[in-house]
Each structure stands twice: as structure tokens, then as C-alpha cells.
Amino acid sequence: MTDFDINKLREEFPLFVNEKNGSVLDFAYLDNAATSQRPKCVIDAEMEFYEKHNANPLRGSYPLSVEATDVYENARKSVKNFINANSSAEIIFTRNTSESINLVAYSYGLENVGKNDEVLVSIMEHHSNLLPWQMVTKKTGATLKFIECEHDGSIDMEKLKALITEKTRIVAITHVSNVLGAVNPVKEIAKLAHEKGAVIVVDGAQSTPHMKIDVKDLDVDFFALSGHKMFGPMGIGVLYGKEAILDKMQPFLRGGEMIDSVSRYDAVYAELPHKFEAGTVNAAGAAGLDAAIKYMQRIGYEYMQERELMLTKRALDGLKKIPHITVYGSDDAKRHTGILTFKVDDVHPHDVSEVLIADKIAVRAGHHCAQPLLQYLGVNSTTRASLMFYNTEEEIDKFLESMATVRERMGYGK
Amino acid sequence: MENRSFYNEILTEHNIHPEFKFDLEDADIVLEGVNPSCGDDVWLKLKMDGDVIADGAFVGDGCAISQASADIMLGMVIGKKKEEAIKLADTFVKMIKGEASDEEIESLEEASALQDISHMPARVKCAVLGWRTLKEALEK
């Protein structure tokens, strides 16, 4: 593991050193599960595409367009290696995780789910891995089933076994909960799904920034991720799908650059992955994502995980010491993936975040796009602090100091 | 600790010990106001005597700003004529939008304690929830 000077690392993030946003220690960004910050190399890569290689990729035969195509296709290769896919044909660029999952829902779900079938989701899903399946089951007349989670955010595999049956066509599950930070045993769930002939769709938006993804080892059928959550640009996401399955699927969107030939009334679609990339693509975004992957490889998951665990533990231990605070999910910092969702007795989450904002700490208050999970936890909304390796001990201490004053500042005893 | 002045004592007092947060059983007008994105929820209950708001209360759930604002509002409008209450609601919204004159802010008496929210765009909807529900209820 390479060791880094954290202050030097933070200097690579323009937002942390931009005078307009204050100095590094002036403002604690603890909303990383919503979107990460981006290092300069990512922003530069996106800009460089427009400054040096801009042409419409995959179209022109002049050198500039070939260059643009290279940048775009190299990014695809980079993603393929990053998640250990078999081939670049399995990597489809989308806008984000939501679009990736919608692609699967429309192009696979609607075609392969019938009236007497079942789709299984977990109670922990972000709305982006729930609403598409509500749509599929409503349109097809199939049944949407839920696997509940235990108090610590874990899934009881015996309960899950009972829920996956011959009727199950799709199991859609998040790799890491964006509320509890719990990591789901995707590999084991994939095995259970496959035993019953179902496919598994994994929402990897929250896992990819924090842990090595190996789609071959996990043996998942679909895996969706967002660039902006893993230091990359907004507006670029990925759908990984097994080639044999993608090959049989119909396009999601139809239009430019996804065809072999078109006649008046018919069209022959292009090969994978272009079949699923209608219209001009986000090549600059792909270049930025490529740079983000290279950035993560330079830092290494080992270093990131060690720091994240240290910071999470510091925050979790500190919160536990403050009276009237409940942290949701596991007692063990290791099972939080940097995400701490909590409540303060009597104080509404929006008031908690307002107090933190006054102390220059950015957290998220609300339902975190996971309303069914919050209902299950018995709350309307919560406050969430989410950490990244680039956060500092000073920021965590500032957060804890502020948290200790919340009740008093809201007019309650300590 | 700069927001001690924002969550001032008037606001926190009305939030923690509301005077009008209870179920008014013989209400003539009952209307729910909701902020769907944050879950603030106020059920406004009014008892009318002709054109005059004879009594009022609310039940609900939400942040300190939404709940305190509704409580302060009821303290001000009970005993007032419908038109006067609507005028107060309009002035309050104006204040929260940062468009009210000093004189208008003064006319809002205790509710003027919420004027700093005009600098907090994300909390405007919390502050006006009770007031816009009142206006809707009275104009029905």
C-alpha cells in the first residue's frame, strides 16, 4: 500500500483549494454518497477532450473523429478492466445508474417477465432500483416481492432462500445501501438467483467508489454504476451486462449510431455495445471517467479503505458518546462503507442539518431516495453523513463537536 | 455557532412548547398542508364565527421552522377577521421572500422572528407551510 500525505492529496481537488469555497479546513464536505468531489485530473481530461479531440466519435473517418473514437473506446476498455468484464462489448455507457437500470427494466424486464412471475427487490433499494421494477411488474402483471433486512442492515440468507423460487425472474439488489452503508452478499445472492433460473441486477452506485468490483467473481448478470459517485464527471454511467444476455436484448433507445443499416420500414441494429448507445455519446464524460479510474488505481482501494474505516470509526464512536443520538445500521464501522445515517431525539433532521450548515459542515437530510427503507425503520427522514478517504480527522471532530450542541441549540437540554 | 440567532428562543420555544398544537374537535375548516420533498405536514383546524376566526389549532409533524411558524401564526390570527388573516399571510410570505418593508415586518409582530429565513432559500417552504395552508383554507 502506498502512503500519501492527505493534505497533498486534497490539493488535487480544485474545490477544496478554491478560494471561493474557503480553505481546505474551512468547509467539511460530508455528503459524498450523494456525489463525490473530483480531482483535477478528471476535470482536465474532460476539458482536454473538447480542447484537443473534439469530433463526433464513431462517425467521421477524418483523423480528429478517429481520435475522438479512440478516447471514447479506450475509456470503455478502462471500465472493462476496472470491473473485470470479459469484453468491451459488455460495457454500455449511460448517463448514470438510474438510466442503466431503466435500460435493463425496459429491454430485459418487460420482455422476460410474465404475469405469473415474480421480481424480487430488497427493502434497502434506492428509488432507482425500485421504481423501474414497480413499472415492470405493473405492466406485466407480475408480483413485486421484497426481502426485508435485519436491524443491522444485513440480509438473512435463509429468508432470502425462501423468497427466491422458480417464479422469480429477476433479483434486483443494491451492492451497498445508500442509507445504512451495509454491504450485501451479492455473490451468494447471484448463486441463489441462478439456481432458480433468475437473473440478478446489481446497483453498484455506492459500492464502486469504495471496493474492488469483479463482475466475473460476483457472477452478476447486470451491474450499474455512476461516474459522479466515484470521482468522475456527472452525466456518465455504466451498465455492465453479460454478453450472452445483452446480445438477445432489444435496444432501449433508438436513433443515431446504433444501427448497421436502415430502410424505410426496418432497421438492422449495430453490434454490442453500440446497439444500446443511441445518439451522440458523452465522450468527454467517458474520458473523465477513464481519468477517475486511473486516479483510483493510483491511490488504490487499500489506502482509501483504510482511511475511510479510520474516519468512519472515529465518527461512529464519537456519535455513540453523544446522548440522544441513534445511528442506524450496524454497530461495526466496517459495515458502514463510510455512511452514517442517524437521528437526534426530538430534533427534526432538517434542523440538524441546518445547525451543521451554520458550522460549515455539509450533510444530507431527508429520505435519501429510499422511502420504503425509512418507513421500515419507522422514520420519515434522517440525517446522513457520508465520508470519503479525502475527508480528515479534523473534519470529523468538527462534525462531532457540532453534533454535541444540536439539542441545546434547538432549545432542549443537552 | 453563528446560528444561535437564527434558531432563536422564540422559534425554539414555539417548537418545543406549542400553544396551539392540539386537535380542535369542533373545527369547521380542516385542511392539510404538506411539503412533499421534506415531509413537513400540518393539519390546520379552524372554528369560524361568521367572518371571524373564533378558534384554531394544528396537528402535524415537521421541522422546527414549520411547526413554530404554524404555532406563531395561530396565536396571531385567532380573533381576527378572515380578510385581516389573509393580509397577514400575504405579508408573511412577502417577508420570507425578502420583499417586505420594515413597516410590514413590524406588523407581523412575533412572526417577524422568522425574517432571517429570507436568507435561507431551502427553508422558505418550511416557514410558509402553515400560512399558505391558512390562506387556502380561508379562501375556499
- Output the DSSP codes for A328-378: -S-SSGGGSTTEEEEEETTB-HHHHHHHHHHTTEE-EEE-TT-HHHHHHHT
The answer to whether the CB of A205 falls within 8 A of the CB of A226 is yes
At residue A259, the 3 state secondary structure works out as strand
pLDDT recorded at residue B20: 96
Largest alpha-carbon pair distance within chain B? 48
The answer to whether the CB of B135 falls within 8 A of the CB of B46 is no
Cβ neighbours of residue A208 under 8 Å, at least 6 residues apart? A83, A175, A225, A226, A229, A230
Local confidence band at A60 (pLDDT 50, 70, 90 cut-offs) = confident
Q: Are residues A260 and A304 in the same domain?
A: no
How do residues B41-53 score in pLDDT, each as one tens digit? 899 999 999 999 9
pLDDT recorded at residue A58: 84
How do residues B49-81 score in pLDDT, each as one tens digit? 999 999 999 999 999 999 999 999 999 999 999
Asked whether residue A57 is assigned to any structural domain, the reply reads: yes
Residue located via cell numbers 405536514: B41
d(CA A376, nearest CA chain B) in Å: 16
Q: Between A and B, how many CB-CB pairs are < 8 A? A: 54
pLDDT recorded at residue A23: 55
Give me the interface pTM, i.e. the ipTM: 0.86
Task: Indicate if the alpha-carbon torsion angle A22, A28, A32, A34 is positive or negative.
Answer: negative
Q: Is pLDDT at A275 greater than 60 in this prediction?
A: yes
State how far the Cα of B68 lies from the Cα of A179, in Å rounded to an integer.
Answer: 29
How do residues A229-267 score in pLDDT, each as one tens digit? 999 999 999 999 999 999 999 999 998 888 888 999 998
How do residues A150-174 score in pLDDT, each as one tens digit? 989 999 999 999 999 999 999 999 9
A369: cell is: 431516495
Q: Are residues A136 and A19 in the same domain?
A: no
How do residues B115-135 score in pLDDT, each as one tens digit? 988 888 888 999 999 999 999
Q: Is pLDDT at B1 greater than 70 in this prediction?
A: no
How do residues A120-136 score in pLDDT, each as one tens digit? 999 999 999 999 999 99
The answer to whether the CB of B11 falls within 8 A of the CB of B68 is yes
Q: Are residues A288 and A311 in the same domain?
A: no
Q: Which chain B positions have a beta carbon within 8 Å of A348's beta carbon? A: 62-64
A159: cell is: 429468508
How do residues A354-390 score in pLDDT, each as one tens digit? 999 999 999 999 888 888 898 888 888 899 999 999 9
Q: Is pLDDT at A273 greater than 80 in this prediction?
A: yes
Taking alpha carbons only, the member of B76, B77, B65 closest to residue B122 is B65
Residue located via cell numbers 445547525: A355
d(CA B2, nearest CA chain A) in Å: 6
Instruction: Please indicate whether, in this complex, the C-beta atoms of B7 and A350 are within 8 angstroms of each other.
Output: no
If you measure CA to CA, which chain A residue comes closest to B39? A380
Cis peptide bond upstream of A349, omega within 30: no
Q: Could you list the residue range(s) of the whole structural domain that residue A289 is in?
A: 43-297
Q: Is pLDDT at B22 greater than 90 in this prediction?
A: yes
Q: How many structural domains does chain A have?
A: 2
A379 touches chain B (CB under 8 A): no
pLDDT recorded at residue B39: 76
Asked whether residue A414 is assigned to any structural domain, the reply reads: no
Q: Is pLDDT at A18 greater than 80 in this prediction?
A: no
Q: Is pLDDT at B112 greater than 50 in this prediction?
A: yes
Instruction: Please indicate whether, in this complex, the C-beta atoms of B15 and A411 are within 8 angstroms of each other.
Output: yes
Q: Are residues A25 and A73 in the same domain?
A: no
CB contacts under 8 A, B 46-65 vs A, are 61-65
Query: What proportion of chain A, given as a percentage, has pLDDT over 70?
Result: 98
Q: Is pLDDT at A19 greater than 80 in this prediction?
A: no
Taking alpha carbons only, the member of A324, A341, A319 closest to residue A407 is A324
Boundary residue ending a domain (A247, A282, A297): A297
The average pLDDT across A43-51 equals 98
At residue B64, the 3 state secondary structure works out as helix
Task: Give the count of beta carbons closer than 10 Å to the beta carbon of residue A88.
Answer: 16
Local confidence band at A72 (pLDDT 50, 70, 90 cut-offs) = very high
Taking alpha carbons only, the member of B63, B81, B47 closest to residue B122 is B63
State how far the Cα of A242 lies from the Cα of A359, in Å rounded to an integer.
Answer: 47
How do residues A303-334 score in pLDDT, each as one tens digit? 999 999 999 999 999 999 999 999 999 999 99
B126 touches chain A (CB under 8 A): yes
If you measure CA to CA, which chain A residue comes closest to B65? A351
If you measure CA to CA, which chain B residue comes closest to A359? B1
Q: Is pLDDT at A24 greater than 60 in this prediction?
A: no
State how far the Cα of B33 lies from the Cα of A324, in Å rounded to an integer.
Answer: 29
pLDDT recorded at residue A3: 86
Residues of A labelled catalytic = 369
Instruction: Please indicate whether, in this complex, the C-beta atoms of A351 and B6 are within 8 angstroms of each other.
Output: no
DSSP state of A107: I
CATH no. for residue A336?
A: 3.90.1150.10
Q: Are residues A23 and A55 in the same domain?
A: no
B103 touches chain A (CB under 8 A): no
pLDDT recorded at residue A21: 56
pLDDT recorded at residue A381: 86
Q: Are residues A50 and A139 in the same domain?
A: yes
The average pLDDT across A72-88 equals 98
CATH code assigned to B2-139: 3.90.1010.10
State how far the Cα of A29 lies from the Cα of A47, in Å rounded to an integer.
Answer: 24
DSSP strand E in A123-231: where? 143-147, 168-174, 199-203, 222-226
Instruction: Please indicate whether, in this complex, the C-beta atoms of B3 and A358 are within 8 angstroms of each other.
Output: yes
Task: Give the count of beta carbons closer than 10 Å to the beta carbon of residue A139.
Answer: 13
The average pLDDT across B22-35 equals 93
Asked whether residue A38 is assigned to any structural domain, the reply reads: no
Q: Are residues A287 and A308 in the same domain?
A: no
Q: Which chain A positions have a beta carbon within 8 Å of B117's beta carbon? A: none
State how far the Cα of A233 lies from the Cα of B96, in Å rounded to an integer.
Answer: 36
Domain boundaries, chain B: 2-139
The residues that bridge with A340 in the sheet, in sequence order, are A385
State how far the Cα of A15 lies from the Cα of A37, in Å rounded to an integer.
Answer: 7
Boundary residue ending a domain (A259, A282, A297): A297
Q: Are residues A82 and A213 in the same domain?
A: yes
A413 touches chain B (CB under 8 A): no
Q: Are residues A166 and A241 in the same domain?
A: yes
d(CA A349, nearest CA chain B) in Å: 7
Q: Are residues A187 and A325 in the same domain?
A: no
CATH no. for residue A141?
A: 3.40.640.10
DSSP strand E in A38-124: where? 91-94, 118-122
The reported pTM is 0.92
d(CA B12, nearest CA chain A) in Å: 5
Boundary residue ending a domain (A270, A297, A324): A297
Q: Are residues A122 and A189 in the same domain?
A: yes
Asked whether residue A37 is assigned to any structural domain, the reply reads: no
Q: Are residues A145 and A243 in the same domain?
A: yes
B101 touches chain A (CB under 8 A): no
Asked whether residue A321 is assigned to any structural domain, the reply reads: yes
pLDDT recorded at residue A276: 97
